[in-house]
Structure formats: C-alpha cells, structure tokens
Structure 1
C-alpha cells in the first residue's frame, strides 16, 4: 500500500471518529459545526488532494463505511438500553399484579372462613337452645294441676307451655290429624287413644298414671315419643306427611 493511501485512510478514520462524536452529542460551534470536525475536514481535504483520483475514491468509501458502522453501533446500544428498560418496567408491573392478586385471594379466603365459622357457631347455639328448651318444657308437665275436664283451648295452652316454640306447629299438625285435640279420642278400629293416638293407650302410663284423663301427661308422652323415635316433632311431622301416619 502506498504512503499516500495510508495517509488518506488515516484522514478517513479521523473523519469517522469525528462523525461518531457528532452522533453522541459533541458540542457544536456557533455555526452549527464541530470545531474539531471542521479542522479535521480541512486537513483531510489537503491530504486527499495529494492522492490520485482512484485512491481518493477508496479513501472516501472507507470513510463512509466507518461512519455507517459507528452509527449502527450507537443505534444498537440505544435499542439494547431501551429494551432492557422496558423489560424492567414490565417485570415490576407483573410483580405488583401478582402481589395484589395474592392479597385479594387471601382476603377472600379469610372472609369465607369467617362466614363459615359464624354459621357453625349460630347452628351450634341454635341446637343448644333447642335442646335446653325441649328439656325444660318437658319437665313442666307436672306443673299443670289436674282438672276434671279440659276445653280444646286449655289443652292447646298446656301444649304451648310444654312443647318448644320452634316445634309447636309441627306437634300441633300431628295432633290435629290424629285426634283434633280431643284428649279422650279413641280409634274404634285399633283402640289408639288420646291426643297423639298412642297404641295401645296404656303406653302413656310411662309418663303418668292419669294418662286417660290428663292431657299434660299425654302431651309429655307424645313429645318424648317424637323426640326419641324421630328426633323432634318436626321430623315426626315430615314422616307423617310422607306416610300418612307416624
């Protein structure tokens, strides 16, 4: 390679470096052109003039190639930085979204568990209250003084005092169908007797010797029978509805 060509390539390299500097933001002179760039071009013009025309073309081509490569490198670096920044932002957004979803799920599960606990507590309290009420009501049978006779209203009043409030309607439904609240009712076919039509009627003696004439004794026996056999008067009524008897 001739000395002139080497000098020309050197000039081209200087020109390329100056161009890269301009891309990166080298301060411009008041005329809008970098002072170093102007000096390099001035020096390069003098050197290129000493070269043959063909070599000048080679030098200029090399200079343009170097400038293009430098600009491509700068563009690639900017693209890589931008992509990395976008990836960082997206990762932060994804992490925030996952954390929020986890918190919402935890809150929902907590609310559901609290609701379940409340429901179980209420059911337990209701069962306890019903059991307590049933025991105390059954024990009240002996508190009703025997009478020579009873009206339907008096018999129903006794039943209300002995049967738990949440079970009374079911108990009443059964008595309505079995005896119509007649404590002396007798089934001519089977011999079943009393309010709840015990068969045989003598079964009710377990609740009191006055089972034939005392509706309180009959109610006590009938309530115990429904609780023991079916679980409650309402369970007995459900059975009665399905089978026509209990």
Structure 2
C-alpha cells in the first residue's frame, strides 16, 4: 500500500515538473519570435493567482483492499450460475446411481419370480412320476389316484366347488392349504399334485386307501 501512495505522489510531482517545463518552453518560443518577455511570461503562467495546485487524494489501505475485493454484479451472477450447474450435476449423478441400484433390485426380483416351478404338461403324467417316486406301484396311480381326482376335479387345476370352495386338482378345502407347497398353488398343477400326494400319504397311507374312503363316504 506504500507503493500506491508513492505512485500517486510521484504522479503529482511529474505533473508539476511538466507544467514548469511547458511554461519555460512557451517563454522560449515567444522569445525566439521577438515577443516581449513579459507577455510570454503572462501567457505561460495562469492568470488566476488564487488557483491552488490539484489536491492529491491518498487511498488508505482499508479502502484499497475493499475496492480490490468488490465483485461486480455480472461476475457474481456468473459464479452463482456455475455453483447451480455443479449442484445439478451432483444431484443428477446421485439420481442416476439411485436409479441404477433400483433397476438391479428389480432384475433380482424378476429372477426370483422366474425360479418358481411351472408345469404346462399333462398333470396325470406328473402325478404318476410322483407316485412312483414315493415307492408306490403304478397300480396306485392307475387304479386309485387317477379315478379319485377324475371324480374330484376332472384333473382341472382351476376347478372350484361353488358350494364348499374346495379348489384345484385334489380339491383342497380350503384351497390356500396348498400354499405350504408353493405360492403359485392357484395356477400351478405341479404344486397342487405335490400337496395332494403328501395329504393322501399323511391321512390314508396310499392313493388306494384314499380312493376306498371316497368310495365309502363320497369324499376323502
């Protein structure tokens, strides 16, 4: 800040020297033209005797710092716009990251749903395989299980008794009992057959035991 003061004072000094030099030059010029020296001197010197030298305004250190730190309105607007763009960019990246994570979760759920068992073939053939897997003979199926479920539902996995509410191939009552073998018990014949065979095994021992009971009392 000392340099600033010195610069202003130096400027004032140089200005004064220049004024004197100019006056001297004017006097010399008039002298060369055979002009009266007094006239030349009057022309070089200002007529107003009361005019004071130009006041030099010194700038304090505080005013200098304040002036250097002031930010114009245009520059302030530009800085605000840059900050807004950076904020929006950060939020956009976060949103994209969140959306990407959400899509991964949805894909995992879809894969889990695809893992649920589905069966589109002949339910009788599947039931025969399950009967044999239990160690029962093929006769248990052909002579007993096949006619039992033919009577109950005609092997229709969407059959529902309008009066009792029994549902599916084995006519489970209520139908949601079959949920123990799969959440797709309403639409998947394989889930219904697996539940029906476990029910027969636990209650009657074999399909023929269930068929005999049905023939005797009309239900199993």
- TM-score when normalising by structure 1: 0.38
Richer in helix (by share) = 1
TM-score (normalizing by structure 2): 0.43
